[in-house]
Amino acid sequence: MRAPSPMMRQYELVDRVKAYNPNCDEALLDKAYIYAMKAHGTQKRASGAPYFSHPLEVAAILTDLRLDDATIVAAVLHDTVEDTDSTVADIERLFGAEIAALVDGLTKIKKLDFVSKKATQGENFRKLLLAVAEDVRVLLVKLADRLHNMRTLHFVPPAKRVRIAEETLDIYAPLAGRMGMQDMREELEDLAFQHIKPDAYQTIGERLDRLTAASTGLITEIESVLQARLVERGISAMVKGRRKQPYSIWKKMERKSVSFEQLSDVFGFRVIVDDVDDCYRALGVVHTAWPMVPGRYKDYISTPKQNDYRSIHTTVIGPGHQRAELQIRTRAMDRVAEFGIAAHALYKDGVDPERRPLDDTAAYRWLRHTVDLLAENENPDEFLEHTKLELFHDQVFCFTPKGLLIALPRGATPIDFAYAVHTKVGNTAVGCKVNGRIAPLLSELQNGDEVEIIRSEGQTPPSAWEALVVTGKARAAIRRATRAAVRRQYAGLGRQIVERAFERAGRAFSEDALKAALPRLARTSVEDVLAATGRGEMFSGDVVRAVYPDHLDEKKPAPIQAPAGKGWFGLKKGSHMKFRLPDSERPEAIPIRGLNGDLPVTLAPDGGAVPGDRIVGILNPGEGITIYPIQSSALAAFENEPDRWLDVRWDMEEVGQQRFPARIQLKSINEPGTLAQITHVIAEHSGNIDNISMVRRTPDFTDMTIDLAVWDLKHLNAIIAQLRGKSVVSRIERVIG
């Protein structure tokens, strides 16, 4: 193990702060140093170093970010409440309310464990963002705390190392990136990568070292040639080359399925100039001197990233026919690219007049927007999923027809675009135009696309969209819309069931009367009662009795004995059914308009049902109605559950033609062309074959089971009659499960 570095001394910490803030509160810094040192006493870290060295290193990292006195002091004190006898009240009494609030926020975050069960992880992430939203400096201290812990992770037992590294890669590194702190993100990713995939890290590192040694002359040449070209045009600039980190190289190799040797942009160059005008002048110099690689130009100055990052990116074929990836930006932009949101932090005495207030930054607005989503997402898993989607994706920039800029994750579709504009636009989207042309809603959007969403007010987003979109906002909105649509279906079904129950009881149904009975039903709204009834969680008879407590249950009809033979329900002769047979012609029966209607309806498994069949509905809790032909033997399983039986009838007059499932079974003669003759008959009669299974029972005969889709009972019977007339068919019958 490597030996721990010597602990920073009191004057060294003060000197680091005074280097960028000469007017700092030196006495406050000294006081915090002494207090924390005494509080931690003889505590040791896993490395054997005094524990107090850790908060000092965290504070040192924050001095590199040039943060204010309160944040530096909070970093020095951040473990005192968690790991010593100190309390938040003690901190407030000695250091003031502002510093106490920062330490308290950090203490709450320290208790969170993200690498745990998914639901707990989601809930903890909510707490993290809620804590940092009050004061983003809490997040800056936490990120610095994690960075120092990662730098010393080699002292931690191996099993714990991997857990902490995964947590860092999953949560903290992308969060640092989302706050614009790209250098910190890269270091966190690289430190985590070497513990999660040590072999890959070592291999890529060795290849990078060999490539760097071989390319030193070329890198120097590109720097000097580029510097000279800019000077010739009167542009004051600093050019510096840098190689990419092992983790970013590994991710690119994985994403593009290429080998290390196939990568052409391992080295990048930054061109730092004085102002925005010089950025575009430098770009002109570069593109005039060397050919540009098509598709590799991005202007993040005119359209900044959501974390405030601004720069021009381009790739050219430079000296020695070597690809050179360039980033051109001003010094102020470079500071934001390096420090992110920390570059805007204001210290109390306003040392740096160029810094903007935190709440005026895009990164902080994203943080506030994400926290606002807490009110919309009751499910912590969904919140975590949404936020991770926001954290991990790079961006594309698209426009509405009116010129509004919409920033989306790379890989986004017009559906994501629609939801980014407004949830209602997404929910009612039925089509789109991309750059004036009709395009699929699942097209991948590119930078600069103009997207027009075609809407229909009656539209409900298909639930399948949820798996196809890439933004958390779209996914959450589709889930909510799907749930609302399902709830409306169940409420619609429940209303019909309840209205018919009141009708059978000879009582008047009204929503006002039902509303008055809500306390007795333990529900908060009429819609809740109707949806619960539709889902089968509440029986209609209970609703009637809640509204009319004096109502007596209707008398059950006398049991009906099944006729001789198989019986209407496939029961043995002499069986008794303890329920009333539904009359499908009764006007009060619930109308069934196929599978695409406004009720949650499924058709019986193992045979289905078709219009023309006399049918009965069975209410399945949480699943809606299953429709069975009245002669189905499966109905015997519900003999003792009369409350689940519903009177239903076909009502297909107002619905366009749709097919319904049916099953036939036949015994065919084994001879050439038999299957062709059977399928030809079905095709001639416009039947659609969904599935065929064949079993040869004897050398001469084969049993076939064919699942069909037909219009109605008349259509099915016509197919059966035609097949029965074929000489290759020995026997045929419809199968009703």
Each residue of 616-651: pLDDT tens digit? 888 887 777 888 998 888 888 888 887 788 888 887
Per-residue pLDDT at 694 = 92
Gap between the Cα atoms of 713 and 611, Å rounded: 6
293 CB-near residues (< 8 Å, 6+ apart) = 314, 315, 316, 317, 323
Hey, what amino acid is at 574?
Answer: G
Poorest-confidence range of 41-55, 334-348, 350-364, 534-548?
350-364
DSSP secondary structure string for all residues of 240-273:
EEEEPPHHHHHHHHHHHT--GGG-S-SEEEEEEE
Task: Identify the H or E element spanning 696.
Answer: strand 688-696
List the domains of the chain with CATH numbers: 10-196 (1.10.3210.10), 207-344 (3.30.460.10), 393-470 (3.10.20.30), 481-547 (no CATH), 560-650 (no CATH), 660-735 (3.30.70.260)
Catalytic site includes residue 83: yes
Per-residue pLDDT at 651 = 77
User: Cα–Cα distances in Å, from 28 out to 71, 73, 119, 352, 394?
Assistant: 12, 8, 41, 21, 41
Per-residue pLDDT at 447 = 75
Three-class DSSP category at 316? strand
Per-residue pLDDT at 567 = 38
Q: Which residue has the higher pLDDT, 380 or 83?
A: 83
Per-residue pLDDT at 681 = 92
User: Cα–Cα distances in Å, from 536 out to 338, 497, 502, 565, 616?
Assistant: 58, 10, 17, 34, 16
Instruction: Tell me the pLDDT tens digit for each residue of 266-311.
Output: 778 899 999 999 999 999 999 988 888 887 888 889 888 777 788 9
For residues 151-165, average pLDDT: 87
Asked whether the predicted pLDDT for residue 705 surpasses 70, the reply is: yes
Asked whether the predicted pLDDT for residue 361 surpasses 70, the reply is: no
Band the pLDDT of 10: cuts 50, 70, 90.
confident
Per-residue pLDDT at 579 = 41
Asked whether the predicted pLDDT for residue 71 surpasses 70, the reply is: yes
Poorest-confidence range of 207-221, 435-449, 455-469?
207-221
Per-residue pLDDT at 180 = 76
Please name the residue that has the structure tokens 């812990």: 149
Mean pLDDT in the chain?
80
Percent of the chain with pLDDT over 70: 81
Per-residue pLDDT at 559 = 37
Instruction: Tell me the pLDDT tens digit for each residue of 247-271.
Output: 888 887 877 777 777 776 677 889 9
What tokens appear for 655 in the block?
């619905």
For residues 582-591, average pLDDT: 58
Per-residue pLDDT at 276 = 93
What tokens appear for 413 in the block?
């579709």
Asked whether the predicted pLDDT for residue 82 surpasses 50, the reply is: yes
Band the pLDDT of 663: cuts 50, 70, 90.
very high
Band the pLDDT of 455: cuts 50, 70, 90.
very high
Top-ranked range on mean pLDDT: pick from 174-183, 387-396, 571-580, 728-737: 728-737
Chain length of the chain: 737
Hey, what amino acid is at 448?
Answer: G
Reported as half-sphere exposure (CB side, CA atoms, 13 A), residue 213 has a value of: 6
Poorest-confidence range of 21-25, 210-214, 507-511?
210-214
Per-residue pLDDT at 703 = 92
Instruction: Tell me the pLDDT tens digit for each residue of 467-509.
Output: 889 887 888 889 888 888 878 878 888 888 888 888 878 888 8
Per-residue pLDDT at 578 = 40
Catalytic site includes residue 82: yes
Asked whether the predicted pLDDT for residue 717 surpasses 50, the reply is: yes
Poorest-confidence range of 106-120, 461-475, 519-533?
106-120
Asked whether the predicted pLDDT for residue 117 surpasses 50, the reply is: no
519 CB-near residues (< 8 Å, 6+ apart) = none
- Of the residues 30, 64, 82, 537, only one is catalytic, namely 82
For residues 728-735, average pLDDT: 90
Nearest one of 65, 43, 15 to 184, comparing CA atoms: 65
Per-residue pLDDT at 561 = 37
Asked whether the predicted pLDDT for residue 675 surpasses 80, the reply is: yes
Nearest one of 500, 490, 411, 426 to 462, comparing CA atoms: 426
For residues 181-201, average pLDDT: 89
For residues 169-197, average pLDDT: 85
pTM above 0.75, yes or no: no
Per-residue pLDDT at 722 = 92
Per-residue pLDDT at 658 = 82
Asked whether the predicted pLDDT for residue 385 surpasses 60, the reply is: no
- Of the residues 26, 64, 83, 450, only one is catalytic, namely 83
